[in-house]
Every structure is written in structure tokens, then in C-alpha cells.
Amino acid sequence: MSTKSITVSNIYLDNKNKLDLVKLIDVDDKNLEVKKSDVNRLGLALAGFLDYFAYDRIQVLGNTEIFYFNKLSSLKKIEVIENILKKFSVPCFVITNGLFPDIEFLEVSKKYNIPCFRTSFSTSHFIKEMNAYIEEKISREISIHGVLVEVYGTGVFIKGESGIGKSECALDLLYKGHQLICDDLIKIKKKSGGILVGYASNVMPYYMEIRGLGIINVKDFFGFKQILDKTSIDLVVELKIYDKNESINRLGNDKCFENILNVEIPKTIIPVKVGRNLSGLVEIAAMKHRAIKQGVYKSIDMLTKFIKRENI
């Protein structure tokens, strides 16, 4: 697991065309880092209110900030920016809507080695795009073994011991029209709001290893419609060798979860034995998960109450 950052220099290089970023001053930005995905409107900081100033993020100035700043006297402009930059080390400033700050803003920023950029994008559009870009770059990430498929719109992470049949189960799901994201090594990133997204690793994406058949290219065999670059991880299905001495909850009303990156993901454990249709069971698990989320899965609760009432 890793917590990452990205330099202001890389942010500019990656987005100068996409977000129409233009450098307004020349400073050394190779060692300035961004570690938070949410950008910050400078807003009240220009008026001197710094109690809750989110200084460690990209600072955005839109119409309100620029028109307010440009109306100040020259001495007041210097004082306002000095007051911020003497106390806080901000990664950079971005002025939106194609606006230009007055020269005092740029001079003080250059004095403190803080990059300033301009974009023709509107403030809301820039914030949306930049938040998504930084989140993608610095999200917490792990790599984990298993198979990731999308079944009826539900991202299902299939795990289990080596050789238990994970890849074979996924192959059968592909025959039924579902989609593969990754077989074997899955990259998982934690997005804002506790959402987990799984990706194929860069090493041999869309390939599957099937014992007895070797390695197959899913894209060549099934076409583009059967593969996805990523999906949310909504459900964990664990394949487990059937043990007759181990008790199994036959009603399926026990709540079980898998902790991934400190996010609790609902988990279904499927006992594996000869003759069981694993892909069909995974489909049912995905449908059951969707029904529970939509609040329409009532049968188990009603049956459980009936059994308790009748002492069955």
C-alpha cells in the first residue's frame, strides 16, 4: 500500500494542453508537491481569514478572488499575499477564466517561489477536471491476487486459494456475456468517499491463465465488449473448499465483509465441491447484492422471522 504525491511540475506537464495551463512566472516547481486531491478556492484567505485555510492544496482564484484583489491598493495587494505566503507554503496558484492578476500578485509569488498558472477554463470546470486528475494520481493503492469481473453492473472480486477455480469461473462468466477487468493481479485504488476501484495491472492486461490450456487473450477470443479497463469493487466472492465438518449458514443472512484499504466490502463465501455451478452462483450473489442495495431483498428476513417464531 502506498500514499503518493505529485509534483507541481508534473501536474503542469500533464495538463498544459488538456486544461490550457499557461505559466505566468518562471520558478522552480520540481520539488513542490501536492498530496490532497481537492483543490481550494483562495476566497476568504485574501481577506485575512486564515483559521481554516487549506494551504496544502492547489489554490484557485476565479472571478470573485481576482476582481477583489485587483481593486485593492498596491500596498494592500502586497500585504495580502505576503500574509498568506509568510505563514503557509502553498503548492501553486491557478487563475481561471483567462484572467490576469495584477503584477503585485506575481511579484510576491515569485519571491516565495510559488508557481502561478492561468487557464481559460471556468472555475467549476477546472476544479472538476483537476480534482479527478489528482485523485487518480495520488489515490491509496494496493495490488492483490484474484479475479475482477463485472456481473450485471456489479464489480465482483473473486478470491480463493491457488488452483481453486477462480479463472475457470471467470471464463464461464465471460461465456455468459459478463466482462473481465483483470485475472491474477489486480490494482485497487481508494477514491474519495471510500469507493474502491479495481484496474488491470500493466503486465499482460486482459490475459487469463487456464490450467491445461495455458494463457489466452480475452480481447482476441471474446472481443472488446467483454473487457473493461476498471470497475468499482462492490462485492467480494470467496471460493472455499467444501468441508462437511464446517458449519454453513444455509439461510445466507449472516453479514460478512472483507476489509480492503480500510473499506468494508460485502463478502459472500461459496463452498466449492464437484458439480457446483460456480459461475451461476456468482451471478446469483451479484443479483442478491444489487437487490439488497435497492432494498427489495426481503425474503430472507421474512423467512428468518418465521423460523424463529415457529421454533423450527
Q: Is 184 a catalytic residue?
A: yes
Which residues, 6 or more positions from 200, have their beta carbon under 8 angstroms from its beta carbon? 148, 181, 182, 186, 187, 206, 229, 230
Task: In whole angstroms, give the CA distance from residue 13 to residue 8.
Answer: 9
211, 225, 244, 250: the active-site residue: 250
Residue type, 269: I
Yes or no: say if 93 and 126 are a contact pair by the CB < 8 Å rule.
no
Please state, in angstroms and as integers, the Cα–Cα distance from residue 130 to each residue in 54, 112, 214, following that order. Answer: 16, 24, 42
Strands 40-41, 59-61: parallel, antiparallel or unpaired by DSSP?
Answer: parallel
In the set 118, 166, 189, 289, the catalytic residue is 166
Catalytic residue among 140, 184, 219, 240: 184
Cα dihedral sign, 140-143-149-151: negative
* Amino acid present at 255: K
Strands 235-241 vs 154-160: parallel, antiparallel or unpaired: parallel
Active site residues: 145, 166, 184, 250
